[in-house]
Amino acid sequence: MPDESPTVTALVQGKDTKGIIATITNWIFDHSGNIVYLDQHTDPVEDMFFMRIRWDLDGFVVPREEIDDKFGEVCWRLQMAHRLFFSDRKKRLAIMVSKQGHCLLDLLYRWRSGQLIVDIPAIISNHDDQRDIAGYYNIPYFHLPVTKETKPKQEEEVMSLLRKEGIDTVVLARYMQILSPKFVNAYRNSIINIHHSFLPAFAGADPYRQAFHRGVKIIGATSHYITEELDEGPIIFQDIVPVTHRDNVITLRRKGEDIEKMVLARAVAMHVENRVLIHNGKTVVFGG
């Protein structure tokens, strides 16, 4: 559920040094802020510090429009990078989908039931199969077919639509197309994909058939940020389900679709709740 009063969440990361937590929390206290959440992680191998901190805006004496600059000065002195997010500003999310609708349906149900606090101005597809679902949820549906020859033009149309709608997060809910480096760079660390395998195992096409031929005893799904390297982006969330020798490709795919929905939904929630930090191709994911 949304916060009863507005809060601001800060994600902070940089080289570990003494006094980071004290400096930041004291700054918030000195400006009459009430901290409602704080978590931190130190990576001793890379000597990196990561923190997520949230405080009430009610009574906070720094004007809202100045918080980013003033907090940035504190982080600059600590040689930390930071990002700020206000709880009353929902992320604007576009869902891209091809023919399969199970992940799309699950996300829309969570959105309609209030579990996923976002705005969804657009569903974009290279096929027309999911138009009725979009209509049921009263979300505009954009059918933009693509072929190998028309792919650059189609991507330009997609990106133009995303800019027009003010989209900040793109979810590939089984959108079975490889995005160009230009597209990826335009939404760096903001394109969330679901891969129907427990990466790095069985990357690429038809992982359930690959898993069947290997006789695996578990299958899984992986949600990750898109990068230029196929199925190599920073992993947000993964999970698995057991299988047996009695399963075939069809039952593996059926079980896999169930885990895909859950994994993607969890990853999207982690992203929109501003719980994910990225460093050197890996993620630090804080609790809720």
**Which of the residues are catalytic?**
231
In angstroms, what is the C-alpha Rg of the chain?
21
Question: Residue 29 CB: number of other CB atoms within 10 A?
Answer: 12
CB-CB contact of 30 with 59 (8 Å):
no
CA 217 to chain centre: 28
Amino acid making up residue 267: A
CB-CB contact of 251 with 264 (8 Å):
no
- Residues 85 and 104: their CA atoms lie apart, in Å, by 26
What stretch of H or E contains 256?
A: helix 249-272
CB-CB contact of 218 with 243 (8 Å):
yes
Q: Are strands 48-56 and 7-15 parallel, antiparallel or unpaired?
A: antiparallel
- Residues 272 and 218: their CA atoms lie apart, in Å, by 29
For every residue of 144-207, DSSP letters joined together read ----TTTHHHHHHHHHHHHHHTT--EEEESS--SPPPHHHHHHTTT-EEEEESS-TTTT-SS-H
What stretch of H or E contains 282?
A: strand 282-285
Report the half-sphere exposure of 183 (CA within 13 A, side-chain side): 25
